[in-house]
Amino acid sequence: MAVPAVNITIEQGADFASSFTITNANGSVYSLVGASAVAKIKKFPESTTSYSFSTTITIATGVIALAMTDTVTSTITPGRYFYDILVTNSSGLKTRVIEGMALVTAGIST
């Protein structure tokens, strides 16, 4: 499966939420039965500092929802970051299902 690139914008000091429908190449819903997901942003892929999203999976629709609280976003320095969503299926196989750039915009009223 080719990994779709989807860019996101995170507002510093505000709650963030976004959801992604994961599909197979033929358009069918990607099986998330028994799966878990992890998603993080990093300034550079090799950075040791990362910020984690909370993830929620809706199996029936193939949707993975990401969220990050204002408490977390307020600690992120504005700028461009990399992010991805990694799914681990019930057999332990890990698959990157979404990747892209995350633009963190500066908060004024944080």
Q: DSSP letter at 44?
A: S
Query: What's residue 77's pLDDT?
Result: 96
Residues 104 and 76: beta-carbon distance below 8 Å: yes
Measured CA to CA in angstroms, residue 25 lies from 3, 36, 95, 99 at distances of: 10, 21, 14, 16
Query: What's residue 1's pLDDT?
Result: 59
Domain ranges of the chain: 8-105
Query: What's residue 108's pLDDT?
Result: 82
93 Cβ neighbours under 8 A, 6+ residues apart: none
Residue 19 pLDDT > 70: yes
Assigned CATH for 8-105: 2.60.40.10
Query: What's residue 2's pLDDT?
Result: 76
Going by their DSSP bridges, the two strands 8-11 and 94-105 should be labelled as: parallel
